[in-house]
Amino acid sequence: MLVSNVGTWMQTTAQVLLLIRISGKGTAIGLVTACQFFPLLVLGPYAGVLADRVNRRRMTIITQSGLTVQAFVLAALDLTGHVSLAVVACLALVLGTLNALDNPARRGVVTELVDASDVASALSLNTAVMTGARVFGPALGGFLVHAVGTGWCFMANGFSFLAVLGGLLAMNAAELHVAPRAPRGGRPLRDALDFVRHDALLRRTFVALAVVSTFAYSFTVSLPLLVERNLGGGDLAVGWLMAVNSVGSVIGSLAMASRRQIGPWHVAAALAVLGVFDTALGGSRTLLVAFALAVPMGAGGTAFVASTSGILQQHTPPAMRGRVLALQSTAFLGSTFIGAPLTGWIADRIGAGWAVSYGGVVTLVTLAGYSWVIWSRQDDPKRPNENEAAAALV
């Protein structure tokens, strides 16, 4: 997964730089990003139902094979001069559809690799692997775009999927801790929604995740525009800023992975770090200042995602885990369908700095509401899950 995610971040960086050259508009980048994440919004919950009913390892092999083909097609069209805004948008839609199906199945495979007591740590380490790839992927992508062009970045990403396919095929399926398959029929999606709605801690965490994800996580839109328009950087600088941000992401994910119990105040602390430094980053006037602020911003952002994931795992039975993970992916990634075009519009109409900072402001407002609710309800005897989680924070 580390090799594959390096390739994915290379392609993500190259795609944004390609769109800047094709159109030069933040709204264009936002709309293509929306095309990529729209399938997650629509298909995400149903993909979780499917992941709970089928062999997750086999499903992941199929989706990863499809992602390989998508990368090679984009590379061929770019290298032959047939790429356009419409082509990139259509292939982004294909990419998003495959990712929507892949996400709950692949994350479900991670939970099958360890005992139940280590699931939260395993998911945090999985997040560390994905964010660790962001350290190398964007920087390598920016370098390759500068040296040989975007098409070869897409080609390299296609080959990177062979690493994860090889790993999946080499696994001994008999040693996996496979959860019981969810029965067919019934109301699987509605049951998952009802489960989240009736658990007070999960409900509040999901609301915070959906709000912050929508407005504060369109970094692939806002950071390249900040570099190009406000900081006077080029392709290499874009890759380096995204890579430096990812160094912080690794720090945040490892900090969460070191904890066997995660509670709501971990979520609040991560929100505080993300909100403060996201707001400050938008006001950067030099690359050096931006690099310094991007590290703690990345740490807070990934710690927030990892802490919400840990809370979900601790409160969700194994048979429903795929569906709840899919709901989390829908809230986190599917919300980009709204946030990315809005971020691009803000960058074009108000300024690239505000396209970064407005997400930090929304995060701080969410922090105030989330903290007030958790603090005011922590002594409520009807909410034992919250009390137990808060007591484990040491």
Domains and CATH numbers, the chain: 2-171+188-391 (1.20.1250.20)
Name which residue leads in pLDDT, 203 or 31: 31
Confidence of residue 392 (pLDDT cuts 50, 70, 90): very low
d(CA 321, CA 50): 12
The pTM of this model reads 0.76
Predicted confidence (pLDDT) per residue in 323-351, tens digit: 777 777 778 877 888 899 999 999 999 99
Of 2-16, 87-101, 126-140, 175-189, give the lowest mean pLDDT range.
175-189
What's the whole-number mean pLDDT along residues 352-367?
Answer: 95
Q: Quote the percentage of the chain above a pLDDT of 90.
A: 42
Q: Which two tokens stand for residue 346?
A: 């803000």
Q: Which two tokens stand for residue 120?
A: 């939260």
Residue 385 has pLDDT above 50, yes or no: no
pLDDT value of residue 186: 54
Of 45-59, 150-164, 186-200, 296-310, give the lowest mean pLDDT range.
186-200
| Letter string b/e over residues 158-192, b meaning 16 or more CB atoms within 10 A of that residue's CB | bebbebbbeebeeeeeeebebbeebeeeeebeeeb
Name which residue leads in pLDDT, 344 or 105: 344
- Hey, what amino acid is at 295? V
d(CA 139, CA 238): 8
Of 201-210, 227-236, 330-339, give the lowest mean pLDDT range.
330-339
Name which residue leads in pLDDT, 43 or 276: 276
